[in-house]
Amino acid sequence: MDTFKDELLNVPISFDQKSLSRKAQQLDLIYHLSKQYTLTAHDVVTEIETELELRQYYTLINQAIRCLRYLKDGGFQLSLEQDFQITNDLVTLLIEETHRIDLAEQYFSALRERLQSTTWVNEKMYVDYVLLCKIPLYKNDPSHNKIALRNLSKLISKLDTSLWKVLFQYFRLQLIPGNERKLADYRDILFVIKNHEQFHFVVMCSFINYCLDEGISIPADMWVYFSEMDTAHVKLKIWKILLELLVLIFKDINITDKLTELKSFFDNNKDKIDSPLESIHLFDTVSLKLDFPVFGYKDVKNLLLFFQSVSYLPNCFDKRSNFSVKFLPKTISTTGKLLSSLDEKCSLSKLNSLHKFYHTLLDLVKFYQTCESIILHGMVADDNTTSPYQDLLQAWNAQLRGQVKTASAIYYSILHNDLGNRELKLLSLLHLYAITLAEISECDTGNDDLHTLTTKANQLVSQLDLLLNTSVFSASTVWRSTKLLLVIMGRFEPFTKNPQASNQNTLLLNELEQYFAGNSLLPADDLPTSKAPVKIKKSLLLHIWLNYIAGSMSINELDQRCVLSSTCFKLAKQQYLPYLRYLVGIWNLMNNTIAMNSKEVALTKARLDQIVKDLKANSDTETTANSTS
């Protein structure tokens, strides 16, 4: 198809000039034809299903391009206004519809030369924007980006203190890879444009977006300012609320109030939400149109459904609040309907970008369905996916099957990927640390591997601390408590055979007390603590694990230990947690044996025997399945 497009571009351009008496009339007619060809192509873009229809689409687009090239190269005496409009239309088509970006650069470079002797500041700046920002973004070539960045820096240094300068500074950020951008650059831009409400709002949302994309911590002052700002612009308001919702999910904070706010906003602005393009005033005579194709009413409702599913995923085992079980399949179904009902009148490249958005959403849903499968069944339903999470899923699958070396190798490959996702790296570090602690506990005293493994564990937890403290998850009690419990298991008996030495044990135990105070499964009156409680988002695994660790270390009253261990043992049955259930079952057996509760001892022994039988049966079934395949 690319060859076909290029062949059409190379067809000689010719019109019968004898049929038109005047050049001006001919110019208007040909320009009108180019518009009609483009509009006709864009009107049918969502109906393309066969190669023939695709060829017809590109035939129309290339006819439009030929018309515009004829106006440019056919000897017409174009006024500057005509030249600017025709060249802009031509370059837009070349960039968005063909691979001839080099030709687009030639035409716009020539136009820039013609503009140099004029006082048309805005037009000059726009041409520079296309040449130095838009085209490099379309090329997506790191070496070309470096050249464009150098040229942009030169242009910025030549500009005075006008707002065009800060606008190009903002454009420049879009060419810099996310992991190389600087917070100071955003702060400088925001300071200069603080009195330009809509422009400031766009840059602020863009900054929060960047922090979430990179998984980095949002500075407290920036978050406060972002939370307080407001706008009457409907699409910008939706953008802000969705970002706030995402941050709440990242921080494991209840999203109910934010969902209520968004529902109220929808009810009051439903008629305005589906307008496709809205002008954003930047400054003076300059404005831009923000295209929010996925911020329509149905799309935002679908995104909210997805966000709710992810937020409540840890509760998928609970039939009273298993929103992910209900909503993730519905998100897939709704996304499929939105894809099939797309009615955009746009270029094929824009349509492809919309398709990419929906397919990315579907990849995310499938990833979280796999997480759901692990919670409900203790297995990765399908790790053969092409999503960015494929490596992580394969590592989880290997780890669940006991293939620790395979899992570790994949986790390290994720860590060593310089462009990798920060959350994936955090998850990899957490799992590697847990695996290493298990290896340390298995070592016999005096084993030569013990020192090596201890050094490795210290390095991993240091990396984990550094990455977590600078990430958007730094305020997450789920992340914090999970890391704390792992560290404690590596430093105290009876959780490990070889406890690691540390001078921070008192701090660790104080922090553990705070989490236990906020999440104990004992009645509140029985809690032996004066620490300020820290609540953790509902998660059965995490709560049982926390109560097992804290109860083993801080509950001295035997009757309370028996109550707590029995509660943990019973709760663990609600979710597929056979190993944790066995562990707390042993704890419950020990407590009740000491307390001489013979009935509870007998029941616990029987249940432990059944857990072992079930695990063996599952292992035999899996072995048979593997040998058959």
Q: Which domain holds residue 16?
A: 1-118
- What is the rounded distance in angstroms from the CA atom of residue 303 to the CA atom of residue 309? 10
Closest CA to 265 of 222, 297, 313, 218: 297
Examine residue 66 and state whether it is found in any structural domain, yes or no. Answer: yes
Tokens of 361: 């959403």
Contact between 541 and 485 under an 8 Å Cβ cutoff? The reply is: no
Is 173 domain-assigned? no
pLDDT tens readout for residues 63-98: 999 999 999 988 788 999 999 999 999 999 999 999
Q: What pLDDT shows up at residue 544?
A: 96
What was the pLDDT predicted at 622? 63
**Residue 628 pLDDT more than 80?**
no
pLDDT band at 526 (very low <50, low <70, confident <90, very high): low
pLDDT per position as a tens digit, 448-503: 889 999 999 999 999 999 999 999 999 999 999 999 999 999 999 889 999 988 88
218: exposed, middle or buried (C-beta count within 10 Å: 0-12, 13-18, 19+)?
buried
Which whole number is the average pLDDT over 42-54?
93
- Hey, is 532 helix, strand or coil? coil
- d(CA 25, CA 557) in angstroms, rounded, equals 98
pLDDT at 272: 77
Write the burial class of residue 610 (CB in 10 Å: 0-12 exposed, 13-18 middle, 19+ buried).
exposed
Question: What's the rounded Cα separation, in Å, for the pair 106 and 159?
Answer: 24
Q: Give the confidence band of 18 by pLDDT, cuts at 50, 70, 90.
A: very low
The pLDDT of residue 10 is 55
What is the predicted pLDDT for the residue at 324? 86
Q: Grade residue 20 by pLDDT with cuts at 50, 70 and 90.
A: very low
Give the tokens for residue 439: 């290896």
Question: What phi and psi values does residue 278 have, to the nearest 5 degrees?
Answer: -135, 135
Distances from the Cα of 124 to the Cα of 77, 111, 144, 165, angstroms: 21, 9, 22, 13
> Which pairs with CB-CB distance under 8 Å and at least 24 residues apart come from 340-345?
342/46, 343/46, 344/45, 344/46, 344/293, 345/39, 345/42, 345/43, 345/45
pLDDT score of 453: 94
Note the pTM of the prediction, 2 decimals. Answer: 0.88
Residue 147: enclosing H or E segment and its boundaries?
Answer: helix 142-158
Higher-scoring residue by pLDDT: 135, 623: 135
Does 421 score more than 70 pLDDT? yes
Q: Is residue 52 part of a domain?
A: yes
* Helix, coil or strand: residue 288: strand
pLDDT at 330 over 90: yes
Instruction: Give the other-Cβ count within 10 Å of 628's Cβ.
Output: 6
Specify the pLDDT at position 384.
Answer: 63
- Residue recorded with tokens 């716009």: 108
Asked if residue 620 is part of any domain, the answer here is no
Q: 28 lies in a domain?
A: yes
Instruction: Look at residue 317 in the predicted model and tell me its pLDDT.
Output: 85
Q: What is the predicted pLDDT for the residue at 529?
A: 61
The type of residue at 425 is K
pLDDT band at 19 (very low <50, low <70, confident <90, very high): very low
pLDDT of residue 269: 84
End-to-end CA distance of the chain: 40
How far is Cα 474 from Cα 466, in angstroms, rounded to an integer? 10
Whether residue 240 is predicted with pLDDT greater than 90 in this model: the reply is yes
Separation CA 569–CA 297 (nearest Å): 46
Q: Which of 41, 58, 49, 52 minimizes the C-alpha distance to 6?
A: 58
Enumerate helices (H) and strands (E) in the chain, giving the number of each. Answer: 27, 2
The pLDDT of residue 380: 84
- Model confidence at 312, pLDDT cuts 50, 70, 90, reads confident
pLDDT, one tens digit per residue, over 95-138 is: 999 989 999 999 999 999 999 999 998 899 999 999 999 999 98
Between the CA of residue 206 and those of 178, 240, 251, what are the distances in Å? 12, 10, 19
**Residue 436 pLDDT exceeds 60:** yes
Identify whether the C-beta of residue 252 lies closer than 8 Å to the C-beta of residue 518.
no
Q: Which of 78, 94, 107, 74 is nearest to 6 (CA)?
A: 94
What is the rounded distance in angstroms from the CA atom of residue 587 to the CA atom of residue 595? 12
Helix (H) / strand (E) element for 350: namely helix 348-377
Nearest Cα residue to 72 out of 84, 57, 59: 84
- Can you say how many angstroms the Cα of residue 332 is from the centroid of all Cα atoms in its chain? 17
Q: Over the stretch 364-411, which tens digit does the pLDDT of each residue have? A: 999 999 999 898 888 887 656 667 788 999 999 999 988 999 999 999
Which tokens hold the place of 222? 């920036």
Assess if residue 56 is contained within a domain. yes
Q: Considering its fold, how many domains does the chain have in total?
A: 1
Q: Is the pLDDT of residue 314 over 60?
A: yes
User: What's the gap between Cα 366 and its chain centre?
Assistant: 14
* CA pair distance 174, 193, nearest whole angstrom: 18
pLDDT given for residue 9 in this prediction: 57
Give the least confident one: 112-121, 295-304, 596-605: 295-304
pLDDT at 333 over 60: yes
Q: Is residue 39 part of a domain?
A: yes
Residue 503's pLDDT is what? 85
* pLDDT (average), residues 180-202: 90
DSSP H/E element including 289: strand 286-291
- Cβ pair 556, 562 in contact under 8 A: no
CA distance 387 to 556: 49
Asked whether residue 570 is domain-assigned, the answer is no
